[in-house]
Chain A
């Protein structure tokens, strides 16, 4: 395997990262691990991991779910 094929192979494994992570999450929970959702880099992942739990960055990156928030949040808050 030359270097560029190796890189392409590695990159491919990131392609469906979201799905992979979900599977990983299910497995971790099945193993009895606690999952800690975080919204900000101020949540110290060192402490979460040190306690044997799994830190997970929560969704806030996609536009599709925004419509469901209308009526609960002022319209200007995602403008």
Chain B
């Protein structure tokens, strides 16, 4: 990556204005750049269309932040989110931009552990590290930060995040898929609509909401198309690259992103027709299931794809769990469109729900659709909902003769050797 270019004087003053710690931020970009080069740019047979994502990643704290600040200067508001339960349709309808906030790497851990218990999951710790270390320009550029009451860890951590930011908005999320649960989500989404309107001064009407639904659905459809093409053998794109597309979907301008993904899909269709792939035919195929992988948590996919297997799907918030359902945009009234949004998000099968049988059904469906030979369950240590669910999921899959490897890890690199050994053994098993 052309790091030096990104670090032009122009960006430095922009980062300074946002209140970033320039020295710490330089160090972060340095590590991120090296990591990206080693893991991504070293891959062979990448689709040409990935050049777009290489560029986006090289400018993830540069040009994209410049764009967001230009939007702000023109009066548009930026809303930051930590979860796929924050409905982008409503944000776009309020003429605002939704961005995913940084939570994929350890940072300022010493400071973090003064505020959070040590046995907190890496994702939550990372959220605090990026704030305390002042290295997330998305967070600093946001006019509203949405914290959602999903797991216990996040909902309690937001109580401690509140005093660190000036604009935290808390959204409650149900835990049970009952009519009452749905009613809670509906109430919360109407509150959120009001809060977005109060922030932007825009009145969200049916037409605006329909347009928001249309834009977000187009993004989802492009990702569905990408996912579907991964069913081919040989796999036309690596799991790492497909994951990157899903990760970038949280940061990028949605319409531009949709075009870029569709362009890659055009290229992949040609590859499939020519029986070209990133790895040879009959390479063992794996579905990853579990906790979200935010940029730059590429550890597990990188180990898998350098151990003789290819990842053909992600059952994850940064993956199919986050995008598989569309929102029905056919209704005429604002109320009915809001209900369609509630219906859509209420289907998300996050492990905070109890019980959560749809998730297991979806994992099995993905194994069939993408012709996977096994499942790797990715759990972040101390993430109770996913670690708890991992054990019955593993047992259920094994009952159906689907091999499953259960990994509990964090963002650190200390366990790479051990993970590599376990993953290589698993790949041998599923060959």
Contact = CB atoms under 8 A, between A and B. Distances in A.
A74 B406 CA distance: 11
Interface stretch (B133-141, B172-180, B382-390): B382-390
A44 interface: no
A55 B297 CA distance: 48
A77 B391 contact: no
B387 A74 contact: yes
B166 interface: no
Contacts of B119: 76, 79
A76 B382 CA distance: 6
A76 B391 contact: no
B241 interface: no
A39 to B, nearest CB: 14
B388 A76 contact: no
Size bracket, chain B contacts: 10 to 19
B408 interface: yes
Nearest to A74: B387
A11 B391 CA distance: 45
A72 B408 CA distance: 14
A77 B391 CA distance: 13
B381 interface: yes
Interface string B219-247: 00000000000000000000000000000
A20 to B, nearest CB: 35
A73 interface: yes
Interface residues of A, number: 7
Interface in B354-389: 379, 381-382, 384, 387-388
Contacts of B391: 71-74
A76 B391 CA distance: 13
Contact of B384 (A71, A72, A77): A77
Main secondary structure of the interface of A (DSSP, over half): loop
B381 A73 contact: no
Nearest to B121: A76
A33 B145 CA distance: 53
Contacts of B382: 76
Interface in A48-79: 71-74, 76-77, 79
Contacts of B387: 74, 76-77
A77 B388 contact: yes
B141 to A, nearest CB: 35
Nearest to B392: A72
Contacts of A71: 391
Interface string B234-271: 00000000000000000000000000000000000000
Nearest to B395: A72
Contact of A73 (B379, B388, B408): B388
A72 B388 CA distance: 8
Contacts of A73: 388, 391
Contacts of B390: 74
A79 B387 CA distance: 14
Nearest to A75: B408
Contacts of A79: 119
A64 B119 CA distance: 23
A44 B262 CA distance: 56
A6 B384 CA distance: 48
20 contacts: A71-B391, A72-B391, A73-B388, A73-B391, A74-B379, A74-B384, A74-B387, A74-B388, A74-B390, A74-B391, A74-B408, A76-B119, A76-B381, A76-B382, A76-B387, A76-B408, A77-B384, A77-B387, A77-B388, A79-B119
Interface of B: 119, 379, 381-382, 384, 387-388, 390-391, 408
Given A74-B384, A76-B381, 18 more contacts: A71-B391, A72-B391, A73-B388, A73-B391, A74-B379, A74-B387, A74-B388, A74-B390, A74-B391, A74-B408, A76-B119, A76-B382, A76-B387, A76-B408, A77-B384, A77-B387, A77-B388, A79-B119
Nearest 7 CB-CB pairings of A with B? A74-B387, A76-B382, A76-B381, A72-B391, A79-B119, A74-B388, A77-B384
